[in-house]
Amino acid sequence: MSISDYKVALVTGASSGVGVECVRALRKAGVEVVALARREDRLEKLAKETGCETLVMDLTDTDLIYEKLAGRQFDILINNAGLGRDHEGFFSSTASEIDEVIDLNVGASIHVVHAVASGMVDRGYGHVVQIGSITGLYPLGMPGYSATKGAIHSFSQNLRLEFKGTRVRQTEICPGRIQTEFFDNAFKTLEQKKQFLSGFTPLVPENIAEAVMFALDTPWSVNVSMIELTPTEQIPGGVSIQKAREI
């Protein structure tokens, strides 16, 4: 089973960045796409460009997830919606910002899979793609955001066990820094965003979409469990040592 065998895909977080490029790539491959996001104007523009169907909704509304998605048949799920808030430091985040990130990055992601992939299991085919992050794999700071992506990594690994014997495939994409609107919400000032993405050549959303399409287009007997991709100039890992301040 490759991309030509799939008919309908759901892409969350489809109003910008990685989500938009996944919609474009899937439509180019002849897959019908439901593009889901909160920003109606962005979705309308994407629909005119690609011919995708749009679905405007807030994924933190759990009841709405099941109302709008559970009864529909999707062969592919690109679980992309998410946001970050503590890139300036965990202790600079407010309690509401922490809850917002957890609710969308973890709670909503898990509920979307539960609502959509149960049908894949019943039909005996389908592919779930989770857009994770290298922050879920390495200690890179941003404890709150990293915790949510670590949760998605664990969820993805265990979901493969849940799919055992069902013919449903599961892929986690773990990118490094991407030049995208994601960081508009992650930082409070444009200068901080520029500094975070300066001094090297970051990934672009098309790079992630290409990785997604690679995983989708492998033969059914091949499950691409995880793809880690970073800018050549970004190397995760290592050891950080700093003398403690005097008390």
pLDDT higher at 90 or 13: 13
Question: Which of the four pLDDT bands, split at 50, 70 and 90, describes residue 105?
Answer: very high
How far is the C-alpha of 163 from the C-alpha of 77, rounded, in Å?
14
Distances (CA, A) of 167 to 125, 127, 171, 205, 213: 5, 9, 13, 29, 18
**Annotation says 145 is catalytic:** yes
Residue 194 scores a pLDDT above 70: no
Chain mean pLDDT for the chain? 91
Q: Hey, what domains does the chain have and what are their CATH numbers?
A: 3-229 (3.40.50.720)
Q: Could you report the per-residue pLDDT of 143-169, keeping only the tens digit for each?
A: 999 999 999 999 999 999 999 999 999
Sign for the CA dihedral angle at 234, 239, 242, 244 comes to positive
Q: Which of 6-15, 174-183, 190-199, 227-236 has the lowest mean pLDDT?
A: 190-199
Asked if residue 200 lies in contact with residue 234, where contact means CB atoms within 8 angstroms, the answer is yes
pLDDT digits (tens, 9 = 90+) for 49-90: 999 999 999 999 999 999 999 989 999 999 999 987 766 678
pLDDT digits (tens, 9 = 90+) for 30-41: 999 999 999 999
For the beta carbon of residue 198, count every other beta carbon within 10 angstroms.
Answer: 8
Q: Could you tell me the pLDDT band of residue 189, with boundaries at 50, 70 and 90?
A: low
In the block, tokens 């030509």 appear at 4
What is each CA distance from 120 to 99, 100, 152, 235, in whole angstroms? 30, 29, 20, 37
Question: Which pLDDT does position 186 carry in this prediction?
Answer: 56
Active-site entry in 6, 125, 138, 145: 145
H or E element at residue 145: helix 143-162
Mean pLDDT of 181-205: 70
Is 79:61 a contact under the CB 8 Å cutoff?
no
